[in-house]
């Protein structure tokens, strides 16, 4: 019970407590995958401190040190340390590499030959922000958020890659696509001829060959003499009316390409001259070339046959060989013959042949018909033959023959006998 008029004295002691976080700063940067450690430090306290309480992203932690592995971008946020009535906080800033994509959004970017290729590299997210873009295309590099290639060719087909950098030695962001250069078919005909020559009644077969195409060819169409057919191969049994142009058109999603050639149908005609020798002519320009080749082949065959005949072994003449041998041995010989008389009888006469050796390049062979000198080139002399000659011929007729001819004079001579009335010379010598 208090005594009236007496005042009580009350002593109040003010509590003092100050704290801070280390590392210090209002922002604490952390990389993805990094272990983050923050310590709550007591600066001033007049009472013992036994409890530390942390809060982060709606969760509570106990202990003077906050430790956590940063696993995602969601780990960014405010971190608070509470000691009794004192509080200290910082903001966790999670760094992560860029997330980028290409515009147009496609793994494959189609572009036609001759067009311009434009691609944008877009950073969807990055902390910190992207500061550098680099492009790589078929071994070439360029910078900037936009890739531009004018007047595209087939060689521009390949991989296109964008790389985005935001620093702090983090893995850069990357996006890539395949540049697909499209173009109409490049084709040729299997014959590779300006004109296809074929005989009437024969089959023409031509294939439409694709050298290159992107995308692949989807259809083939043939035009010939106003007719249309389909398929990669043209096949027809031609007639004379089928001469003209033929074309193939190959189509893909990018366009159509056409190539053409000509068909020349050859006609064979049989012409007979004097009803004896058939002559076959080909009524085309190409047929003339074939005819010339045939003539050349025939000329070669004729030349070959003539040379073969010249080099053939000569024919041996046994009769002349025997006569020459006898002439060489004896120097002269007598040859007899039996003469049939007009009266029916026969008597013997003979020719005495005196042979003089004469040079003969090939005395035992003959190559053809033996020729004789013209009668005008011979001359007659009376007496004994002498000197170099091919032979001395001495003719004698016996008495019986002369008598018989005297009797025959009374009969009218025939045309074949009129020359028998000529005088008969004895011991006449003919030298040539």
Handedness of CA 241, 244, 250, 256 (dihedral sign): negative
Burial of residue 224, with CB atoms counted within 10 A of its CB: 0-12 exposed, 13-18 middle, 19 or more buried = buried
What residue spans define the domains of the chain? Answer: 17-96, 104-184, 193-266, 268-310, 320-431
Residues constituting the chain: 432
What pLDDT, on a 0 to 100 scale, did the predictor assign at position 11?
47
What pLDDT, on a 0 to 100 scale, did the predictor assign at position 411?
52
Ramachandran category for residue 199: left, alpha or beta (phi over 0 → left; psi -120 to 50 → alpha): beta
CA–CA gap between residue 293 and residue 298 (Å, rounded): 9
CA–CA gap between residue 132 and residue 170 (Å, rounded): 13
What pLDDT, on a 0 to 100 scale, did the predictor assign at position 310?
78
Q: What is the largest CA-CA distance in the chain?
A: 231
CA–CA gap between residue 41 and residue 38 (Å, rounded): 10
Closest to 244 measured CA to CA, from 222, 261, 269: 261
CATH of 17-96, one of 3.30.300.250, 2.60.40.10, 2.70.98.60, 1.20.1260.10: 2.60.40.10
CATH code: domain 104-184 is 2.60.40.10
Beta partners for 109? 179
Closest to 27 measured CA to CA, from 36, 35, 16: 36
CA–CA gap between residue 353 and residue 351 (Å, rounded): 6
DSSP 8-state code for residue 424: -
SS3 306: helix
CA–CA gap between residue 218 and residue 184 (Å, rounded): 11
What pLDDT, on a 0 to 100 scale, did the predictor assign at position 330?
46
What pLDDT, on a 0 to 100 scale, did the predictor assign at position 166?
94
Do the first three CATH levels of 104-184 and 193-266 match, i.e. the same topology? Answer: yes
What pLDDT, on a 0 to 100 scale, did the predictor assign at position 416?
44
The CA angle 115-118-154, to the nearest 5 degrees, is: 45
Domain 193-266 fold: Immunoglobulin-like (2.60.40)
Q: Are 101 and 111 in contact (CB under 8 A)?
A: no
Helix extents (H) in 95-238: none
DSSP 8-state code for residue 305: H
CA–CA gap between residue 18 and residue 46 (Å, rounded): 10
Q: Are 351 and 337 in contact (CB under 8 A)?
A: yes
What pLDDT, on a 0 to 100 scale, did the predictor assign at position 267?
84
For residue 151, what are its two tokens?
């007047």
Q: In 157-202, at which residue ranges do the beta strands (DSSP E only) sit?
A: 158-165, 173-189, 195-199
What pLDDT, on a 0 to 100 scale, did the predictor assign at position 38?
96
**Total-model pTM:** 0.53
Ramachandran category for residue 190: left, alpha or beta (phi over 0 → left; psi -120 to 50 → alpha): alpha
User: What are the pLDDT tens digits along the chain (432 aa)?
Assistant: 444 444 444 445 555 889 999 999 999 999 988 999 999 999 988 888 889 999 998 999 999 999 999 999 999 999 999 998 899 999 999 999 999 999 999 999 999 999 999 999 999 999 999 999 999 999 999 999 999 999 999 999 999 999 999 998 889 999 999 999 999 999 999 988 899 999 999 999 999 999 999 999 999 999 999 999 999 999 999 998 999 999 999 999 999 999 999 999 998 653 334 444 444 444 445 567 888 989 999 999 999 888 888 776 555 555 544 444 444 444 444 444 444 444 444 444 444 444 445 455 555 544 444 444 444 444 444 444 444 444 444 444 455 666 666 666 555 555 444 444 444 444 444 444
Question: What DSSP line would sit under 249-266, residue for residue?
Answer: EEEETTEEEEEEEEEEEE
Q: Are 146 and 118 in contact (CB under 8 A)?
A: yes
């Amino acid at each position: 019970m208090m005594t009236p008029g007496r005042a009580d004295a009350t002593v109040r002691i003010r509590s003092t407590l100050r704290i801070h976080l280390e590392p210090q700063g209002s922002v604490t940067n952390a990389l993805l995958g990094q272990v983050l450690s923050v310590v709550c430090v007591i600066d001033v306290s007049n009472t013992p401190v036994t409890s530390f309480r942390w809060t982060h992203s709606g969760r509570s932690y106990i202990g003077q040190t906050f430790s956590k592995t940063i696993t995602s971008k969601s780990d960014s946020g405010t971190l608070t340390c509470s000691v009794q009535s004192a509080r200290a906080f910082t903001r966790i800033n999670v760094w992560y590499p860029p997330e980028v994509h290409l515009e147009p959004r496609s793994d494959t970017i189609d572009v036609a030959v001759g067009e311009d290729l434009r691609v944008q590299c877009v950073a969807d997210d990055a902390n910190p922000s992207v500061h550098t873009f680099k492009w790589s295309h078929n071994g070439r590099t360029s910078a900037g958020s936009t890739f531009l290639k004018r007047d595209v060719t087939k060689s521009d087909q390949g991989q296109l890659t964008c790389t985005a950098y935001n620093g702090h030695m983090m893995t850069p962001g990357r996006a890539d696509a395949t540049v697909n250069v499209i173009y109409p078919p490049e084709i040729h005909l299997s014959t590779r001829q300006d004109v296809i020559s074929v005989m009437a009644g024969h089959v023409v077969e031509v294939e439409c060959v694709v050298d290159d195409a992107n995308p692949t060819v989807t259809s083939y169409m043939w035009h010939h003499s106003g007719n249309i057919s389909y398929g990669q191969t043209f096949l027809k049994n031609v007639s004379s009316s089928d001469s003209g142009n033929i074309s193939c058109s190959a189509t893909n999603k990018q366009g159509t390409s056409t190539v053409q050639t000509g068909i020349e149908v050859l006609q064979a005609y049989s012409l007979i001259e004097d009803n004896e020798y058939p002559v076959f002519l080909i009524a085309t320009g190409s047929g003339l070339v074939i005819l010339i080749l045939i003539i050349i082949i025939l000329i070669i065959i004729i030349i070959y046959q003539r040379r073969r005949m010249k080099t053939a072994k000569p024919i041996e003449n046994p009769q002349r060989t025997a006569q020459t041998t006898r002439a060489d041995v004896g120097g002269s010989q007598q040859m007899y013959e039996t003469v049939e008389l007009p009266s029916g009888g026969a008597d013997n006469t003979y020719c005495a042949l005196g042979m003089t050796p004469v040079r003969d390049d090939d005395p035992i062979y003959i190559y053809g018909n033996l020729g004789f000198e013209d009668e005008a080139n011979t001359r007659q002399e009376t007496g004994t033959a002498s000197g170099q000659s091919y032979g001395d011929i001495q003719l004698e007729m016996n008495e019986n023959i002369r008598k018989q001819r005297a009797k025959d004079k009374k009969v009218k001579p025939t045309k074949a006998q009129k020359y028998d009335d000529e005088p008969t010379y004895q011991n006449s010598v003919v030298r040539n």
